[in-house]
Structure 1
Amino acid sequence: MFEIIVAGGWMMLPIILCSVAVIAITVERYWTLNPAKIAPRNLLAQVWSWIKNNQIDAARLRELKQSSPLGQILAAGLSNSRHGREVMKDSIQEAANQVIHQLEKYVGLLGTIAAIAPLLGLLGTVFGMIKVFSAIMLEGGSGNTAALAGGISEALITTAAGLGVAIPAMIFHRFFLRRIDSIVVTMEEESIKLVDALHSDRRVDVKLV
């Protein structure tokens, strides 16, 4: 493996760094973007139980806010529920924007790596072909076999390495975007239920994005 990396030339260094970044981001986001932790299923039922038993106070709101991202959104709405439907909706949207920003953390970087990794491989390919043609010119048209093989090898290795990093990066980028969309829909539905329960005179259209 080390011999292959060396044969790929110095362009392998940024490609390897990209691969390390893809692995680190994938592990971190997979652990973080856990729907059960972000939007617990029974959280709204628990909140409604607090409301019915008149147990909502500053301590409960603080506990709710720290429990999960969905709890943070619901706590923002509850804190301003007495000010009316629109104020409550705006509070939920503001809190949701912050939560969604955190959910999307590093995901954009995966997309960037998926885009630039093939270009890095292509650049390595160009450098490898330059070596090939330089060897041919220096040898008067015939070229040194070892030099030609080294240049071609560098060109192929960097291309393969760039694609090998870009393909998983693109797959996980799309996977995490779909997961975030699913989580956002769930949080939106839970927020709408809370607003409707507290202001049941008219349905409120709460949009998180």
Structure 2
Amino acid sequence: MIESILQTWVKGGWVMLPLAAVSLLMFATGLRLIQRMRRWPDRWGTEADWQKWVADPDQAAPAARVLLKSAGAEEENETVVRRRFAAVVQLYGPAEERRLALLSTLVAAGPLVGLLGTVTGMLVTFRALAEGGGGRITEAMAAGISQALFPPEVGLCIALPGMMMVYWARRRRHEFQAFLAWLESLVVQQARARRKKGARVNDLPVSVKA
């Protein structure tokens, strides 16, 4: 079976080599991206857990505790909280955006490389037609037609799972962005509550504070 697959693959011509390279790189990039996105913080707990953790970061799971303290969950200044959240976004956003852009490019490159095989296969076919009739010419035409049809089919078959990975990664990115916006609003609300509480304590008479 393996020999049959290899023979069929070779009939596609030299274009099958870059097509195989694009395919391997696309799947490696896509699977790595999915693996990293599945570990993003919004999968560390439920919505109720995060609300409880924002109120008391020391009670949070270890990884969530580090994230919340980095995001300023214990701060009272809203400006500081928003600045820290911007830094947290930079930890997760740019690297995955680059991988997603690379994955999208590889998905688009698969069918294009297949079309290159169509062009080279048609050239082989036209060359055989120009040389005239005969058994060898017929074989050359058959080889040219095979090179013209097989690579674009493989390119499309490669692109379909790649499109599914791109769709999943984009949806996952939107979910995570919504989670960060929601978490930032919770931390900001908590910072306001701490500031108001501190203001009320400072307004009390000295004897009451004591």
TM-score w.r.t. length of structure 2? 0.77
Residue 20 (1) aligns with residue 24 (2): yes
Deviations 1:36-73 (A, max 9, x none): x52222245234224xxxx69xxx9xx95xx26x953x
Q: Which residue of 1 aligns with 2:117?
A: 124
When the two chains are superposed, the root-mean-square deviation of aligned CA atoms in Å is 2.9
Q: Which residue of 1 aligns with 2:156?
A: 163
> Does the Cα contact within 8 Å between 1:8 and 1:153 map onto a contact in 2?
yes
Structure 2 gap segments, 5+ residues each: 197-210
Match of 2:93 among 100, 119, 136: 100
Q: Which residue of 2 aligns with 1:45?
A: 52
Match of 2:70 among 73, 76, 88: 76
> Does the Cα contact within 8 Å between 1:120 and 1:162 map onto a contact in 2?
yes
% of aligned pairs identical?
Answer: 25
Match of 1:150 among 143, 162, 179: 143
Distance 1:29 1:190 in 2: 23
Q: Which residue of 2 aligns with 1:32?
A: 36
> Does the Cα contact within 8 Å between 1:108 and 1:173 map onto a contact in 2?
no
| Higher fraction of helix | 2
SS of 1:10's equivalent? coil
Distance 1:108 1:9 in 2: 29
Q: Which residue of 2 aligns with 1:90?
A: 83
> Does the Cα contact within 8 Å between 2:16 and 2:151 map onto a contact in 1?
yes
> Does the Cα contact within 8 Å between 1:43 and 1:71 map onto a contact in 2?
no
> Does the Cα contact within 8 Å between 2:73 and 2:187 map onto a contact in 1?
no
Q: Which amino acid in the other structure matches residue 13 of structure 1? A: L
> Does the Cα contact within 8 Å between 2:26 and 2:107 map onto a contact in 1?
no
Distance 1:71 1:139 in 2: 75
TM-score w.r.t. length of structure 1? 0.78
